[in-house]
Amino acid sequence: MKVYISADIEGVTGVTHWDETDIGKPGYEAARCQLAAEVRAACAGAAAAGAQEILVKDAHDTGRNLTPSDIPPGARLLRGWTGNPLAMVEELAPSFAGLLLVGYHAPAGSPGSPLAHSLSTRLHALELNGEPASELRLAAYSAAYVGVPLVFVSGDEETCREAEALCPGIATFAVKRGVGGATVSVDAERAMAGIRDGVAAALTGTRPGVIALPERFAVEVVFRDGPAAYRASFYPRASLRGAQTVAFEATDFLEVLRFLLFVA
């Protein structure tokens, strides 16, 4: 069994301030270490369920937050960005039995996390078919596009609720909740145990199926500044709506991912 793990940092236990997510800033090293611990916990759960191959994608910012010494023997680590539109799930393929998301967070404009955003802090909001397009939703749709089920999610409470609504039967573990500019987290040991046990149960039990993709995709990207929106509006088939919003439509989800790769 092959398993893919995509790991972000804003949804990791205790991470609360933007400085903690940025290499070289105060608190970053502690956050990075907790990210590594939660990834190892997910790997341990996958191994306990019989996974023989594990690919970990470092999916935060530069993609260089995890090192090979952070993952267990036998796992592989994808660092940096290839430039593939699949982005946070690059190299995900039908041969994988399931996708696991660790450290995921609430989308732009949400009160569910003080670090809520979608893809880039340059964006004020990102909507897909009239709903907030979280990084979770983009990853789930990307997995569906290549025929892989999303089977486990950890992160903040809002993210876990979204995952449960999007993928009935999915296993989740919420490590914290956002309250204004603060977070309330479980202790680190509880987080690691919950992730490890949740992943093991998700992969040994009846896994949810691949979700059905919408037939059409209407995307709206709201930028924080007008010049960025004006520039993005020149992407093929994109259009400017007002000073800060760019719209795009497609029937192929890969076209949506390609659009976001170039404008977000």
Distance CA 145, CA 128 (A): 15
Please, are residues 194 and 175 in contact by the beta-carbon 8 Å criterion? Answer: yes
Residue 118: what pLDDT? 97
- pLDDT tens, 203-261? 998 888 999 999 999 999 999 999 999 999 999 999 999 999 999 999 999 999 999 99
- CATH number of the domain encompassing residue 88: 3.40.50.10780
CA distances from 163 to 1, 85, 129, 169, 171 (A): 23, 22, 17, 9, 9
Together in a domain, 11 and 110: yes
The mean of the pLDDT values for the chain is: 97
For residue 231, the model assigns a pLDDT of: 97
Largest Cα span, the chain: 52
- Residues 107, 58 share a domain: yes
**Same domain membership, residue 97 and residue 164:** yes
pLDDT of residue 205: 82
Same domain, 77 and 140: yes
Q: How far is CA 212 from the centre of its chain?
A: 19
Say which amino acid occupies 192: M
CA dist list (Å): 151 to 19, 100, 155, 199, 238: 31, 6, 14, 8, 33
| Number of domains comprising the chain | 2
How far apart, in whole angstroms, are the C-alpha atoms of residue 136 and residue 105? Answer: 8
Same domain, 224 and 200: no
Query: Across residues 103-120, what is the average pLDDT?
Result: 96
Task: Give the span between the Cα atoms of 183 and 21, in whole angstroms.
Answer: 14
Give CB contacts under 8 A, 24+ apart, made by 176-181: 176/11, 176/13, 176/14, 177/112, 178/106, 178/111, 178/112, 178/113, 178/114, 178/115, 178/116, 180/111, 180/114, 181/16, 181/114
Residue 125 domain-assigned?
A: no
| Calpha distance 250→214 (Å, rounded) | 11
- Both 195 and 228 in a single domain? no
Confidence at 45, pLDDT banded by 50, 70, 90: very high
pTM for the whole thing? 0.97
Q: Which helix (H) or strand (E) holds 176?
A: strand 171-179
- Judge whether 127 lies within some domain: no
End-to-end CA distance of the chain: 34
Dist. CA 32–CA 8, nearest whole Å: 10
Residue 258 located in a structural domain: yes
Domain range for 18 is: 2-120+132-204
